[in-house]
Structure 1
Amino acid sequence: MTPRTAPFVDALAGLAVLVHKGTLTVRDTLGVGMLERGGELERLRVLHREAERGRTELLDLARESFVTPFDRGDIHQLTVALAEVLTHLERAVDGGIRQRIDDPPEGTAKLIDALIQMAELTAQTLPKLHVLADVASYPVEMRRLGVRADQARRELLTDALSRRADPLGALRVTLVIEELTAAIHDLERVATVVEGIVVKES
């Protein structure tokens, strides 16, 4: 990496690692009691604070640098989207605790697994952002994972909303699912921005 590229790529890669850790933390909340979930929520809050610090430092770097390796708008979008993933993950776990969802519906693990795979792929890809040929296939793979995630989401919502005997419970579950979905959409946005960088820099 060139001296002007390294700080940006390293910072974005660091944010992606925090996001991956966050998705693993969400997975660890499945099948555990409320007390254990409280501990995982605190872990997510720590990751979220780290991501917000990284976001501020990266945007300051972009603002103060005379030359940036990529379009400043693209750097801003990548930074914000990565940080927002952790915002939604924290809200999902916090919502599950506040809504007292004791047993996540069947299929939640499938949605979270797709989310983890998207975060893991992102964490593996962003360190290679200085060699655009190495990241060209990333958006395609993310779209494939996004289709899987969307299918899992639709199945979960169908299952939740079919419980006519407990409409309030269905609403509570839906709110949590939508936060996880928002995290997935932010990761998809990262892939779209990377795709745009590849096209513009080709």
Structure 2
Amino acid sequence: MLNFILDVLRELGWIGLLIGIAIEALSFPFPAAIFVLIYGYLLDPGWGEILFFSILTSLFYVLVSFIPYFLSIRYDKFVRRKIPQQKLLFAQKWIDRYGDWMIAVGRFIGMGYITYIAGLGKMSKIKFAGLTFIGFYPLSVLMFYLGTLGNVVVMVERFQQMQWFVYSTLGAIILLYIVFRIYRKKKYDQSNQTSAKISS
């Protein structure tokens, strides 16, 4: 199966890579990074080419990302209804807490719907483009490089394991944060109750 995919992508050339990138940039759940990895294997670029190809793919990624960005601005209410509220609140909370850099982080870890969050938040076009580029460029460099190492099957498996590790780490951090907030709220409530008893 993998050999068949490699043959098809080899025949498509750069068009295949751009299609793979465009699908994720349109905010569909699609692993564009794996496409970049495979083309790293097919093209076997040197470091200069890796950096140059990554610039090209990242610029294309930014360009296509503007489609869901503008859609979320134009059809604000419709998009808010379509995006699961849990995802919307989760992303917005982290953006509120850590700033717009979460747009770049979201791109790096494959949160495709983060584009809609940027549009709904009326983020400026320049900032959106810059953060999207910053989020995808290092990932593109990494995937092109991993592809040059030769064994695509192993690299795909390692990338999926890396994604699992990143998601697990983020999940653990979020869980610890929630537990900490609950603990702090209980301590705060107990402190208030104690103060109220003393004052009474």
For normalisation by structure 1, the TM-score amounts to: 0.34
For normalisation by structure 2, the TM-score amounts to: 0.34
> Would you tell me which structure has more helix in proportion to its own residues?
2
